[in-house]
Structure 1
C-alpha cells in the first residue's frame, strides 16, 4: 500500500480476455461477483500457470510420462522432549535408521510412503517439522495438482499418512512419546504441475553445470531434488567451487503472449531443471525480476525488453546476478 499497490485478496483467476497476442483483462471470481481487471502487463505466479493456460500458452505437465514430482503434506509437532529427540534424530539422516529398524523388527505395523524422510527441529527444538509424506493418485503416479478430484483425494490421503507416521514417531522415536501434532498444512504441497514453453527452458544440465546466462536475473543455489516414486533423488552441481546456476530472463517469457510473464515453479523449465529452481530462492529471484520488468513495460512486448537495462535495475536493488 505504501508503494501505491491496490490489493485484492479472495479473488480467483477464472479466465482472460485476449486481443490478438495480448491479455487485455484478467477475469476473477470474488465474493462480490465476477470482475475483470485490465492492465498493460500481467504476471502469472499461480504455481500452476493458470493464467497462461487460460491464454492458450503451450505447456508441459510433469515428467511427460503421466507422473511428475510427488506432492507432500507437511506437519509440525510440538511438546517434544528436545534433549532426547536431538540425541536420537538430530543428525539429518538419523530418522531413516529408526524407520528401517521398525520395518525390520515390526513388518507391516507401519506404512512409510517414501524413503528419505525429513524430520528437523525448529529454532525452539521442542517443536519439529516433518516432511515425510508422498501423495499418489489411484494409479500410483504423482497426484495431479491441477485436477480437482485428485486434489481432494490427496488432501485426505496426506492426513492419513500423517496420522500413521505420527503413530510411529510416538512409539518408536525417543523424545516423541508425549508429543502432539500442532499444525497440519492447510493444503497439500504441490511441487510440479504445468510448465510453460518459454523463450528458454532451464534444464537439469544447467543445474549440474552451474550454467551462466547473458540475461541472468539472479541465481539458484538449490540442487536437483527429484521426489520420485517412494524416494528422493538428489543431484548436485559438478563444480564444488560454483554450487549455483544463473537463471535467465527468457525462462519467464512465454512464446505466444506478448504482455504476460510466468514466474515460479511454472516458468519455462524441463522436469529435471524445475526440480531445483522450483524452490523458494529461485522463485524469489523470478518474482523480483518479473515485477521489475512489468513496472516499466508500457506498451512494449516482454520479448523485446532490454535485458541489460533490467539487470541494472535489479543490481541497483541488491539482486546478486552472479554471486
Structure 2
C-alpha cells in the first residue's frame, strides 16, 4: 500500500521486498478484521478498500460485514490477493526489487541518504529523497538511530508468535453438526467481548471465522495428545471450499528481531503444525482425512519494535475511538492481545491456558500523522505494526486493515515530502490530509457500509 500510494502521489517509487511477490502476511490466509468498525462504518478506505473490493468483484473475497465477536470481518483468497496487489502496484508505476533485504543505511543529522540491500548481486546501495519503513520491525529506523521501544513497557516482553497453515479435505458440514450438538464447544472465548455465534450464523455466513473446540483441546491435553499453549482453535473458511486456515500454533519468548529467536520460533511452530494436524484428524469431526496444503513463508510475528513519534497511540485512544486534528486514517481491528507468557493476566484478566484478550471496537479510532514519523529522522515515514503505539494499542494497530491504512498514509506523506523537498515532520497536516481525501482515504467516521 505504501508503494502504491507513493507512486500514485507522483513520486518515482521503488519497493524493496525480500520475497518474490507483494502482500506480506496477508498471504497467509487469515481473514481480514477491521475494515469496518462494529457499528458498520468503514475504517478502511483508499487503496486498501480498492484492493478489497477488486477481490470481492472477482470472487476472491467476501464482502465485509459486522460480526458479533470481531466487530467486522471478511475472507479473502491469499494467492489471488498477491496477484491483484501486484497488478495494482505495476499499474501505478512502482519499480520492484525482489529477493532483497536491508542490511545497512547511511544517515547524517537525521537525514537518511542511502540504504544498502543484499541480494544475488551482492550488496547494492540505493539512494532516495525519502524512505518508508514497512518492515514490521522498524528495521530502517533502528539502523539509523531513530527512537523506538520494544515490546511491553517495563519488561520488553512481546506477544507470542504463530504459524498459520491451511488444510484441505475438510467436511465442514460434519464440523457444524458437531458444534450444534455440543454448544459448550462454541461459547465465546474467555477474555473476549461480544456474543457467541448461533449455529444459523455459522452455517450461513460466507467466510465465517471462529474460535471453538475448547473441550476437545482439554480432552486432548488430558490424553497427552496436545502440548501447544492454546485453549481454542481458530478456523478460517471460504465459501464453497473444503480448505480452511488453522490458527493453533503458539510460541512465547520470541524476539522477532533476534535471528536465533526467530529460528527457534520457526522450528517450534512448524513442529507444532504436525502436532496440530494429528489433533485435528483424531479429535475434530470433519477433519478426519484432512491434509496440509500450504504452510506460511515465514513465522507470524505479532510484535517487536514500536517507533517513538511525537505522539504514541494508547489503549485508551483505541478503546475510546478517539479523533485527532492530524489523523491520516482510521483503525477498527479489535484490541487483540495474546498473553506474553503462559497463564499471564492480560489487561487485568486471568486467561487460562494460553489465552487471548480480544475486545471488538464499535467505534473506529483516528491515527495521527505524528505516530507515523519517528523522532530524530527527517525523511523517514513508517507504516504497519511498528508505528508509534504502546504495547496494548499495538494489539489493534497490527491488524491487516490498519496496516493498509497506515501504509497508504506513510507512502503519501513520503511522496509529498520528496516532491516538496521538505522534512516529513514539517509538512502541513491539513495539506497532507487533503491529498489523502482525494485518494479516498477515510479520515472521518461518516461512511457507513452496513
| Correspondence 1:145-156 to 2 at 5 A | 145-156=256-267
Of residues 201, 220, 225, the one that matches 1:109 is: 225
Match of 2:356 in 1: 232
* Alpha-carbon shift at residue 6 of structure 1 (Å): 2.1
Please give the alpha-carbon distance, in whole angstroms, between the structure 2 residues aligned to 1:101 and 1:107.
Answer: 6
Three-state SS of the structure 2 residue aligned to 1:320 is coil
Match of 1:319 in 2: 441
Of residues 196, 209, 215, the one that matches 1:97 is: 215
Of residues 149, 165, 172, the one that matches 1:82 is: 172
Match of 1:69 in 2: 159
Gaps of 5+ in 2: 1-89, 180-198, 203-209, 342-353, 446-450
Normalising by structure 1, we get a TM-score of 0.92
CA contact (8 A) 1:170 1:177 kept: yes
* Alpha-carbon shift at residue 97 of structure 1 (Å): 3.1
Match of 2:429 in 1: 307
CA contact (8 A) 2:381 2:413 kept: no
| Correspondence 1:108-147 to 2 at 5 A | 108-136=224-252, 141=253, 143-147=254-258
Normalising by structure 2, we get a TM-score of 0.67
CA contact (8 A) 1:116 1:232 kept: no
CA contact (8 A) 1:217 1:289 kept: yes
Deviation above 4 Å: which 4+ runs of structure 1? none
Please give the alpha-carbon distance, in whole angstroms, between the structure 2 residues aligned to 1:6 and 1:236.
Answer: 38
Please give the alpha-carbon distance, in whole angstroms, between the structure 2 residues aligned to 1:112 and 1:122.
Answer: 26
* Alpha-carbon shift at residue 82 of structure 1 (Å): 2.6
Gaps of 5+ in 1: none
* Alpha-carbon shift at residue 88 of structure 1 (Å): 2.8
Match of 1:271 in 2: 391
Match of 2:130 in 1: 41
The total of aligned residue pairs comes to 312
CA contact (8 A) 2:228 2:250 kept: no
CA contact (8 A) 1:63 1:271 kept: yes
**Does residue 13 of the first structure (1) align with residue 124 of the second (2)?**
no
CA contact (8 A) 1:277 1:283 kept: yes
* Change over 3 Å in CA distance of 1:8–1:93 after alignment to 2: closer
Please give the alpha-carbon distance, in whole angstroms, between the structure 1 residues aligned to 2:233 and 2:314.
Answer: 26
Please give the alpha-carbon distance, in whole angstroms, between the structure 1 residues aligned to 2:211 and 2:423.
Answer: 48
Please give the alpha-carbon distance, in whole angstroms, between the structure 2 residues aligned to 1:227 and 1:63.
Answer: 12
Three-state SS of the structure 2 residue aligned to 1:296 is helix
Three-state SS of the structure 1 residue aligned to 2:92 is coil
Please give the alpha-carbon distance, in whole angstroms, between the structure 1 residues aligned to 2:240 and 2:269.
Answer: 26
Please give the alpha-carbon distance, in whole angstroms, between the structure 2 residues aligned to 1:125 and 1:83.
Answer: 11
Three-state SS of the structure 2 residue aligned to 1:159 is helix
